[in-house]
Structure 1
């Protein structure tokens, strides 16, 4: 039978080695967790493959253009095109189809814009509404997709060139957004998108830039779709929004807006898929071989010096079924060009 002294001795040894064991397990667990974290950081598991949930996608349709004899030079910081990842999101754009209510809906929209007379049929989908007063004004509206062009014969009224009530930058944006909202034409991604205000003056039957508001006869407001976390949204002409309004300085309702181009088509941001990208170096080679779209030519010379390559999304001026990614090449003298970014095997 153990004595009290022996019991105390073995208890102390047990506590001593037990403490060492607990300490060892704590240190071992901490070291093991650190090793696992380091290993995963250096050897991350491969991401799941792109979902390609929409199957093969239609080719992007850029406006027709005649390409000049441009030469290209890459002058990025690294001297090469950047690695912008191996995949990107594609967003679904709901398609609209012809139906018996299309003309009725378009007539309601025209009335919201101040056109109440019966329209003239130009094509199966394009109709023209007209107002004779206070200015001769036409509204050409696609009854299926809803895009339209409103043009007023502002040249008929020389008093419009006297611009006592031209709005400055911020008031012009607010007025444009209020006008569109009242007409039911300001969806959230247009309301929260970029805006651009320009000052114009008349030159014969057209508009030319004015250096400041004090020298302007008209104010132009461009509204763009909101940019996405994965990239900026670009239109066919980078300086032109999906919606462009031109205001005169006359506050008469029928004379205030002398031009309105509306080319907005909705995007379903909740319906998206990921698709593999071609390498940016391949896109650069395609641009050099004439396969890209020149959004803005260099203002001088025939050489396009590219300083920046990024990933964006193309917002076409005509209906499309998907908002797709593009490589954007930007450089000297305002040069901008686009190349479709998706791997060609997923495009038809």
Structure 2
């Protein structure tokens, strides 16, 4: 016959063994996970190969520019080139084509921006529109919708006769202007830069402060892609930029600017292997680079390169793919670019 004492002893033993079992499971799981993590660290799995789904890529459309006779020395923070990923995404950029409605679409767009409906045809695809109430002129490509704005300041100098607005107000003016024409694309949400300008001898030159400025230049960049910044063929400048006066009057508020925006299809991408930082550096010092800014360098200078990083190149002209590059920044405001994708994946 089972006594209460025996039953109590048995119950306590069962609970104790159950607790031991739970502790064993917990410790075992920790040890197993640790062992697996250590194994993966010592014997990491092979990375997935790049998809290279677009095949060979067209060469990047860097503008022609005469190079200077420069030498380079690497002087980053730690004296080394950073480590970079083995592959980076490349995005497809759809091409716009002409159709029977291209001119009608452009007229509708320019009307919303405040320009006349009856343009002057300059060429097969280039048309010029006058502003309805000012001396501003908009010249656009009806296929790509890229356009530029100019203003006859000799005939009407008032826009440069008043003090410039606060940078935030100037930026808001530009965004409102673009938005009115349906041109503020979803990825035009990146960095916004401003530069104070004044006139001297018929030219615009940098002003030291807002109080000294009559114009504010506003540059609007694309958002980052894969956490990489966007650069253009001119260092520090965007492909979408406008010069804003201190006048809060439509037609006189924006006196110059350019809109060279080409959409990216974020759903169509492929990964491509890229050069190592060291390989890109060798290509760079061998003179195979595009200079986005020579700054104040002169022939014979030895430029110290302070920063090396990856970015996406936004050329401001149509190209089929949005591609990564290496950026080399140095003293005297020097900036150079080297294509990042390995050479074997570039066509002619």
Question: TM-score scaled to structure 1, two decimals?
Answer: 0.88
Distance 1:59 1:29, change over 3 A: same
Residue 251 of structure 2: SS of its match in structure 1?
A: helix
Paired residue for 2:69? 69
Cα distance in 1 between the residues matched to 2:98 and 2:288:
34
Question: Shift of residue 22 of structure 1?
Answer: 4.9
Whether 1:113 and 2:110 are equivalent positions in the alignment is no
Cα distance in 2 between the residues matched to 1:20 and 1:197:
67
Paired residue for 1:309? 308
Quick check: 2:231–2:312 contact (8 Å CA) kept in 1?
yes
Question: Shift of residue 29 of structure 1?
Answer: 5.2
Deviations 1:85-116 (A, max 9, x none): 21101111111112221122112222222221
Structure 2: which 5+ runs fail to align?
A: none
Quick check: 1:225–1:242 contact (8 Å CA) kept in 2?
no
Question: Shift of residue 19 of structure 1?
Answer: 7.8
Paired residue for 1:167? 165
Deviations 1:228-287 (A, max 9, x none): 233111111122112111112233322221102101111112221110001222211222
Structure 1: which 5+ runs fail to align?
A: none
Paired residue for 2:156? 157
Whether 1:81 and 2:71 are equivalent positions in the alignment is no
Instruction: Decide which of 209, 220, 226 is 1:229's aligned counterpart.
Output: 226
Quick check: 2:115–2:132 contact (8 Å CA) kept in 1?
no
Paired residue for 2:90? 90
Q: Which residues in structure 2 correspond to 1:55-66 (within 5 Å)? A: 55-66=55-66
Superposed structure 1 runs of 4+ greater than 6 Å apart: 18-21
Cα distance in 1 between the residues matched to 2:274 and 2:204:
41
Cα distance in 2 between the residues matched to 1:110 and 1:70:
46
Distance 1:288 1:19, change over 3 A: same
Instruction: Decide which of 282, 307, 312 is 1:285's aligned counterpart.
Output: 282
Question: Shift of residue 39 of structure 1?
Answer: 0.8
Residue 255 of structure 1: SS of its match in structure 2?
A: coil
Residue 275 of structure 1: SS of its match in structure 2?
A: strand
Deviations 1:115-173 (A, max 9, x none): 214223323222222348632x3221111111111111112223333215x31111111
Deviations 1:13-48 (A, max 9, x none): x98xx8899589645554333212211132221121
Cα distance in 2 between the residues matched to 1:242 and 1:209:
19
Instruction: Tell me the number of residue pairs that the alignment of Structure 1 and Structure 2 aligns.
Output: 338
Distance 1:30 1:167, change over 3 A: closer
Paired residue for 2:192? 195
| Stretch moving more, 95-104 or 114-123 | 114-123
Q: Which residues in structure 2 correspond to 1:1-348 (within 5 Å)? A: 22=21, 26=25, 28=28, 30-131=30-131, 134-135=134-135, 137-164=136-163, 166-190=164-188, 192-301=189-298, 302-348=301-347
Cα distance in 1 between the residues matched to 2:31 and 2:245:
72
Distance 1:279 1:66, change over 3 A: same
Distance 1:182 1:35, change over 3 A: same
Quick check: 2:110–2:117 contact (8 Å CA) kept in 1?
no
